[in-house]
A = this chain, B = another copy of it.
Amino acid sequence: MDVEHETKSSTTRSKAKGGRTRQAILEVAVDIASAEGLEGLTIGRLASQLSMSKSGLFAHFGSKEDLQLATIDAARAHFIHHVIQPALDNERGLQRLWKLCDGWLSHVQDGECSGGCFFAAAASEFDSRPGLVRDRIAAIMLEWLGTLQRAIVESQEAGQMDPAVDPPQLAFEFNSFELGANWSFQLYGDKKAFARAREAMLERLHRYSTRSGARLLPSIEANIEAKPVRSRRK
């Protein structure tokens, strides 16, 4: 949709232009907030990086809190597009579950959000600051946990995973491995941490898969670059 050639009224056009400007602002805002945190995302810094005046930029948002909330939702849209959607292209069951976990790790590993996982950082920054920002972050991370858990339940319903597995427990463990890998990578630049997280997750998929589910695992593992992931002596 080429907004330059649209034939809408000037009101609509100027709204569209405002929307594009807002979009451009939020792209930069997500970058800054990923690296410096949502408080480090100051209006002055954001304005200078966009070569705008502070007040010109500020006119797009009613308050700093509004800017933070808009930035969070932009990051959520980015995450859905790059992690959730590709996973939903896979069949329900172990394949989709794995794609969710693997996509999360790849998203961080490839530095697509510069400061590590935007939400892991934001959660830790705001977990002791009550307010709308904290609530929104918490709700979005709960969406993610719910998505993981649903994929686990679907794996059981598809007969690919042992029905005795407790979905919230397994979702907690998978989420923990993601947080652990992110932590290790951010603090030490340790890329091995992603392999460790994948190893831990695959080990669990192996142990909990049914005979029918186990048939899917070789194709899942074939997509991981040839590390001797599952080849512990024993």
Contact = CB atoms under 8 A, between A and B. Distances in A.
Nearest to A176: B180
Interface in A158-180: 162, 164, 166, 168-169, 172-173, 175-177, 179-180
Interface string A211-234: 000000000000000000000111
A93 interface: no
Interface string A85-111: 000000000000000000000000000
A175 B196 CA distance: 12
Contacts of A69: none
B179 A180 contact: yes
Contact of A187 (B123, B176, B196): B123
A128 B37 CA distance: 10
Contacts of A35: 128
Contact of A172 (B166, B172, B184, B232): B184
Contacts of A116: 127-128
Given A123-B187, A124-B120, A183-B123, A234 B164 contact: yes
In the complex, which of the residues A125, A164, A187 has the most CB atoms of chain B within 10 Å of its own CB atom? Answer: A187
Copies, count: 2
Interface string A10-46: 0000000000000000000000000111010000000
In the complex, which of the residues A39, A179, A197 has the most CB atoms of chain B within 10 Å of its own CB atom? Answer: A179
- Chain A, interface size category, equals 35 or more
A173 B177 contact: yes
Contacts of A184: 172
16 contacts: A36-B128, A116-B127, A120-B124, A121-B124, A123-B187, A134-B187, A138-B187, A141-B187, A164-B233, A172-B180, A172-B184, A172-B193, A173-B180, A176-B183, A176-B200, A180-B180
Interface of A: 35-37, 39, 114-116, 120-121, 123-125, 127-128, 134, 137-138, 141-142, 162, 164, 166, 168-169, 172-173, 175-177, 179-181, 183-184, 186-188, 193, 196-197, 199-200, 232-234
